[in-house]
Structure 1
């Protein structure tokens, strides 16, 4: 009986002991819950910097028609070689010239109540060009047109190294975020205890300038084409959680 009673008593102690362990292990979780139950502000803000671009990307090319696909491709290739040679002569490096589009399409004439009439093949060949010296941009466009380019696409301006502009925008974003936190704290009667988290979004992205594709006739130019780069806007978005207290 004594032995059986002892075993029963020991068994009774086990749940109590486990309860103590569970209570101890739950303490950190309760502390975390308390932290999450703290009053917080979840805020966001942004900062911007403006800077002049130091590079441009432009798309240009050659479009022509011939009765046969082979003839159209041959004529187009010969003229495009002249365009690329003109770009290199204007100071554009090989690495900054890339074929971006090549199309061969049959062409038809349509008349009312008549079957379509085949008129030949149209070949369109385009290259995307990066100009790292904006002083050469107008001259490069003029040189390619003189060499045979008859289509010019949109121009987009950018930065070769956006780090400085992004960091300036980050500083402005953090200032705006802190000012907003202080304003909310003052308006609600709270004090900022600490910043719990900080996140970032956005960043540098070159802004394309709206410029539809248009045809350019081959011509001699007394002055180089004027192209203005203006300013780029670099934006950084930030968000943060602040713990606050009365």
Structure 2
């Protein structure tokens, strides 16, 4: 009889303990929040870019592939040597594209005054070789001189100029903290208006925004980025905006 009573008491205490544990306001306790509010926050941080990135392309056409490759390779090597001499590290110069394409010309056959006129045909006239380099400049003040210099050394296209921040992690964290603080302030004000209390965070999501500043290829060419310009183009760096958008769900009671 005593053993049975002790067993019942032990079972009662176990059930009570489990019930109390499940009632604790902990994320992941297995208890679904039935009453919640959702708030959003936005944080913005502005910073001056410290890195410029652009692409340089060399194109050469000749009757033989080797001849086109030889000229394109020489110009490409001259550009790479110039960039390195200008302070660009070897790791920041990368070939992103290399193509050899046949070039054709449409010729119309001479038709007799009467009778059958043979159709025209494509005639192989040569080959075009192109090489594209991606360049990262870690001193934005040098970007204008380098862009002018690669044009003077045979670059046929300069495109994709953008200004970025090399390490955005700290700035993203700052924007996130600002967004979370704004969302929390909204939640506290809303809870006060509703006459409820915030219990815990039961949901969180984040999205970003902002990005690098780009220059259109046409605008770059008009500014003298391509060609033997005697004066380096003036390139405003501006500011980049790092944005964090958060959504937080609170349990209320």
> Normalising by structure 2, what TM-score?
0.77
1:169-202, CA deviations, whole angstroms, 9 ceiling, x for partnerless residues? 1232012212321343245x13332332463534
User: Which residue does 1:27 correspond to in 2?
Assistant: 19
2:208 pairs with 1:212: no
The number of equivalent residue pairs is 234
Q: Is the 8 A contact 1:50 1:232 kept in 2?
A: yes
Give 3-state SS (helix, strand or coil) of 2:197's partner: strand
User: Which residue does 2:236 correspond to in 1?
Assistant: 228
Higher relative helix content = 1
Q: Is the 8 A contact 1:90 1:143 kept in 2?
A: no
Please identify, of 178-187 and 118-127, the stretch whose mean Cα deviation from structure 2 is larger.
Answer: 178-187
CA distance in 1, matches of 2:92, 2:209: 21
Change (3 A) 1:83 1:30: closer
Aligned ranges 1:2-151 → 2 under 5 Å: 27=19, 31=23, 35-110=31-106, 113-151=119-157
2:204 pairs with 1:199: yes
Change (3 A) 1:68 1:174: same
**Deviation of the 1:129 alpha carbon:** 0.6
Change (3 A) 1:177 1:197: same
Q: Is the 8 A contact 1:192 1:244 kept in 2?
A: yes
User: Which residue does 1:8 correspond to in 2?
Assistant: none
CA distance in 2, matches of 1:92, 1:30: 60
Give 3-state SS (helix, strand or coil) of 1:87's partner: helix
CA distance in 2, matches of 1:118, 1:192: 79
CA distance in 2, matches of 1:200, 1:208: 27
Q: Which runs of 5+ in 1 are unaligned?
A: 1-15
**Deviation of the 1:146 alpha carbon:** 1.2
Change (3 A) 1:210 1:53: same
Q: Is the 8 A contact 1:154 1:208 kept in 2?
A: no
CA distance in 2, matches of 1:31, 1:190: 22
Change (3 A) 1:217 1:111: farther
Q: CA RMSD in A?
A: 3.4
Q: Which runs of 5+ in 2 are unaligned?
A: 1-7, 109-118
2:241 pairs with 1:237: no
